[in-house]
A and B are shown apart, each in its own frame.
Chain A
Amino acid sequence: MKARYLTTAAAAALALAGLATAANAAGKWDGGDDLATSPLECGMGPAAPAAPMKYDGGQPTNAADKAGKEIVVVDVPKLIGIGYFNATAKGIQDAAKDIGNVKAKTDGPTEAKIDEQIKFIDNYITSGVDGILFAANDPVAIAPVLKKALSKGIHVVGYDANSTPDAREWFVNQSPFNGIAKSMVDAMAKETGEDGSFAIVTSTFTTPNQARWIAEMQAYAAKCHPKLNWLETVEAQEDNNLSFNQATTLINKHGDKLKGIFGMTSVATPASAEAVTKAGQCGKVAVVGLATPNAMKPYVHSDCVKSVVLWNPIDLGYAATYVMRAAVDGKLKPGDTSVDAGKLGKLNVINGSEILLGAPYIFDKANIDKFDF
């Protein structure tokens, strides 16, 4: 019996060693996808203009000419009553005030349900509004009701979550993948130094958004921070405790070598920050990641985390309202390459019918308390 245990243990050790050498040979960061990447320019330079694409949005039929006149706009987000969409709604009100001749209100379902959202939009089409802003719960299912709005001469602009392009005129895109990637890698290089070693905590290797971000991050790092050293990527699902455990394992495994952790999800980032805090590694291991401000406040206030990357939802709502006004006024027509968005300046048109919000927003100690979502 005893001998059998020993042989089993020895066999297990050998098998582990064998598997260990097999992994980690490829040059690609684990968790990235194989699609083409388009890294942005290094440093603070302006974004490179993307290859122009033909306008692929839809246009309202026989819309009343309200150029320069007051318009009534309704905003139907995925759901109301949560911090994130409270923030976009605030941006919409701010823009309405800055523009002057826009009356905006936000209304929508209390749960993120597409059938509810469709009902709200349908009701506003019936009651008669000049414009509809939306953040879709489902890009395909929302399309018919939006097309109905366009057919009644109502202007339709999306933000945050798109519909199929032909169901709206414009979509304000808060986060192209290469923009997020640049912000993340720049922040990491700044905190760990140009030759720091870091690891990544992601959801799974095949989650589309995360895979795209990681691939873009690798491309941008290769171009602008070539000495940054990727150690490994670990999976943590969308699971708080697993993320915490995986980040802890990374810290224990690499010791002093590990200078930074990227959190690729709003779950992984606070959990990684907690792991760094519990391990007593604040200031030694940087955490840079995508996350919502509320979950990160404790770590930002304790100086354990310096940069939380996301977009500013207030700016997102603000931009969407300016795009709506410009579309009504005929100042933003198919084929145009930019639009004026008040205090945000000129925003570029990308991908045919999308407006690029701009560089992602970095939440830090100075600004994070202004947000509640």
Chain B
Amino acid sequence: MSAIPVPRLALPRAGIFRRFASQEALLALAVIGLAIAVGFVNPRFLAYRNLADILLGNAYIAIAAIGMSMVIISGNIDISVGALIGVLATVSGSLAVAGAPTLVAWIVPVVLGVLVMAAQGAVVAYLRIPAIVVTLGMMSILKGGLISVTGGKWITDLPQGFHLADLNLLGVPMPVAIMVVATALAALWMRYSASGRAIYATGGNAEAARLCGVNPQRTVVMVFALHGFFAGIATLVYATQLRVIQSTTPPGLELTVITAAVVGGVSILGGVGTVVGATLAAILIAEITSALVFVNISPYWTDSLRGGLILATVIADIVRRRRRASRGRRI
């Protein structure tokens, strides 16, 4: 296991600045810097209520980005996650309205998420079909299926107890608590456990990983299954926040989640990145959306800004790789 390349940890001469020049530190600074900058234009932005609302309303994106990061780090991609969350939300809401116990309405979508994603992972790993093709197909199936089955009808009249997102955990709103706990656990697991490191190894160099005793196929299936788990958890937060569940899948959600992972420092080439970065990036993206309203920037700019952010991160990633390579250090 020790032969697995361990990027980012293996910086023996790393001074304090080098360590903090990581993507996570940059993002944390960006989150704080943006808040201060917008605070100058409109101090209301810094009100506790507003900052809390930004976290609350977007925690589900950060949670989904955890699994997405794992998938991308393993050298794959998933574009079906938005559609899956839409479907799982409808499943969960339908169960709740039909009178199923609340716990069932919460657990079934998580289990279903794991199954659907694990199946996709198996197709990717064992049939060797590129993940983008498999998940593109699944996205269409889920989107079309959802509209067909619901007939466009929304779910209303959700029972009171169903609203997980309205609960508090030790005084912290549930969506934020779940986001923090899930991110922390996933980060620790990916950094210190053998299976966590296997994800990096598989995405960095599958053949080398295999020679080191990692089973890349099994790792990919596990990664997708975990991604399905986090998608299920994200669904619970997403679906229980409002009083209605739409019969359409949340538009562009998969792209927002992928953006969070990539801006969070997860290399699109695989093998590099952390879930902490992805969560911070999800927060940054949510903060930008809110900031645009606060400083009266036309929403026409939202997409351009988001695109700029992705390009900047990807370019920075490539530049960093080159620099390290020229210093003779392998990634």
Contact = CB atoms under 8 A, between A and B. Distances in A.
Interface of A: 1-2, 5, 8-9, 12-13, 16-17, 19-20, 23-24, 30, 79, 81-83, 110-112, 205, 232, 234-235, 237-241, 244-246, 248-250, 252-253, 255, 267, 270-271, 274, 279, 292, 294-295, 297-299
Contacts of B289: 245-246, 249
Nearest to B16: A1
B295 A241 contact: no
Nearest to A277: B243
23 contacts: A8-B33, A12-B33, A20-B41, A20-B295, A23-B296, A23-B297, A82-B153, A232-B293, A232-B296, A240-B245, A241-B241, A244-B241, A249-B50, A249-B53, A249-B289, A252-B44, A253-B42, A253-B44, A267-B246, A270-B243, A294-B157, A295-B243, A295-B244
A78 to B, nearest CB: 9
Given A239-B252, A241-B250, 19 more contacts: A1-B17, A1-B21, A8-B33, A9-B29, A9-B37, A12-B34, A12-B37, A20-B295, A237-B251, A238-B251, A240-B245, A240-B250, A244-B242, A248-B53, A252-B45, A252-B47, A255-B44, A271-B242, A292-B154
B293 A249 contact: yes
Contacts of B151: 79, 81-82, 110-112
A240 B251 contact: no
A241 to B, nearest CB: 6
Nearest to B57: A245
B296 A274 contact: no
For A17, A20, A30, the residue with the greatest tally of chain B CB atoms inside 10 Å of its CB is: A20
A8 B41 CA distance: 17
A241 B60 contact: yes
A277 to B, nearest CB: 9
Contact of B37 (A13, A274, A298): A13
Interface in B20-59: 20-21, 29, 33-34, 36-38, 40-42, 44-45, 47, 49-50, 53-54, 57-58
Nearest to B299: A235
B326 interface: no
A241 B301 contact: no
A248 B57 contact: yes
B28 to A, nearest CB: 11
A87 B262 CA distance: 48
Contact of B293 (A246, A255, A292): A246
Interface in B139-157: 148, 151-154, 156-157
A171 to B, nearest CB: 22
Chain A interface secondary structure, helix, strand, loop or mixed?
A: helix
Interface string B191-221: 0000000000000000000000000000000
Nearest to A271: B242
A5 B28 CA distance: 11
Contacts of A248: 53, 57
Nearest to B42: A253
A9 B33 contact: yes
A252 B40 CA distance: 16
Contacts of A267: 246
A13 B30 CA distance: 11
For B29, B41, B47, B57, the residue with the greatest tally of chain A CB atoms inside 10 Å of its CB is: B57
B53 A9 contact: no
Contacts of B53: 245, 248-249, 252
B290 interface: yes
Contact of A252 (B34, B50, B250): B50
A255 B34 CA distance: 21
For A24, A30, A239, the residue with the greatest tally of chain B CB atoms inside 10 Å of its CB is: A239
Contacts of A297: 156-157
Contacts of B302: 235
A245 B244 contact: no
Contacts of A292: 154
Nearest to B37: A13
Contacts of B29: 5, 9
Nearest to A255: B44
A205 B300 contact: yes
Contacts of B252: 237, 239
Contact of A250 (B156, B248, B293): B293
8 closest cross-chain pairs (CB), A and B: A13-B37, A9-B33, A252-B50, A245-B57, A20-B295, A235-B299, A294-B156, A1-B17
A271 B238 CA distance: 13
A30 B300 CA distance: 11
Interface string B237-279: 0100111111010111000000000000000000000000000
A292 B300 CA distance: 28
Nearest to B256: A242
A112 B152 contact: yes
A237 B68 CA distance: 23
Contacts of B81: none
A19 B295 contact: yes
Contact of A16 (B49, B50, B297): B297
Contact of A245 (B47, B49, B290): B290
Contacts of A5: 29, 33
B20 to A, nearest CB: 8
A241 B242 CA distance: 8
Contacts of B45: 252-253
Nearest to B289: A245
B251 A19 contact: no
A167 B215 CA distance: 64
Contacts of B49: 252, 279
B151 to A, nearest CB: 6
